[in-house]
Amino acid sequence: MKTIDPFRSFSCYNAWANAQLLQAATPLTDSQLDRKFDMGVGSLRKTLLHIYNGEFVWLQRWQGKRDTPWPNEEEKATVATLASRFGLLPPQHDAFLETLKDTDLDRSIVYRDSKGSLFSAALGDMLIQGFNHSTHHRAQAANMLRHVGAGPVELDYMYWVRKPA
């Protein structure tokens, strides 16, 4: 049986990891942010926007707002704008998780995917997808950061939770 507590940890971890990426991207030029890559959604700026969009859209779906369209990813959002948007998500994720009981995780929710097709899934599975989706794209963004000279960004979950012995 799935329980709510790990999702609360994933929400905190995602907020921290997203902040790490945004901090590393802050000094970059538009040219660096828009450099073309054969991974992710094609550039660091688009990948950061995709991470935000994914976390936003999954929250909408979790809340039963099944018809939330996938936002435009051609926007030239600045890192500061993205950081502001990202900052709004953790309190919303946490507030939503606070409303749930473990038994809610088995509840079926109907939603539309980015192509408009209707699907149904258990809320617990949707939470796993929503929190895991970002992990994949953050790894791509970290690699892009390295290639544009921003240096390595440590995003590993154990780096976040470990403490010196």
Residue 149 CB contacts under 8 Å (≥ 6 apart), including other chains: 32
Distance linking the first and last C-alpha atoms of the chain = 33
Q: How many domains does the chain have?
A: 1
- What residues are paired with 109 via a beta bridge? 121
Q: Which of 43, 126, 128, 132 is nearest to 82 (CA)?
A: 43
DSSP, collapsed to helix, strand or coil, labels residue 46 as helix
- The pTM for the full model equals 0.93
pLDDT of residue 121: 96
Bridge-based pairing state of the strands 108-112 and 118-122? antiparallel
> Residue 35 sits in a domain of what CATH number?
1.20.120.450
Q: Which long-range contacts (CB under 8 A, 24 or more apart) does 76-82 make?
A: 76/30, 76/45, 77/45, 77/48, 77/49, 79/22, 79/25, 79/26, 79/28, 79/33, 79/48, 80/26, 82/22, 82/48, 82/49, 82/52
Q: Which of 33, 114, 116 is nearest to 80 (CA)?
A: 33
The whole domain housing 89 covers 5-161
The per-residue pLDDT string of the chain (165 residues; one tens digit each, 9 = 90 and over) reads: 689 999 999 999 999 999 999 999 999 999 999 999 998 899 999 999 999 999 999 999 999 998 888 898 889 999 999 999 999 999 999 999 999 999 999 999 999 888 889 999 999 999 999 999 999 999 999 999 999 999 789 898 888 888 666
pLDDT of residue 128: 94
- CA-to-CA separations, 94 to 6, 91, 141, 150, in angstroms, rounded: 12, 5, 24, 31
- What residues are paired with 12 via a beta bridge? none
Residue 101 CB contacts under 8 Å (≥ 6 apart), including other chains: 4
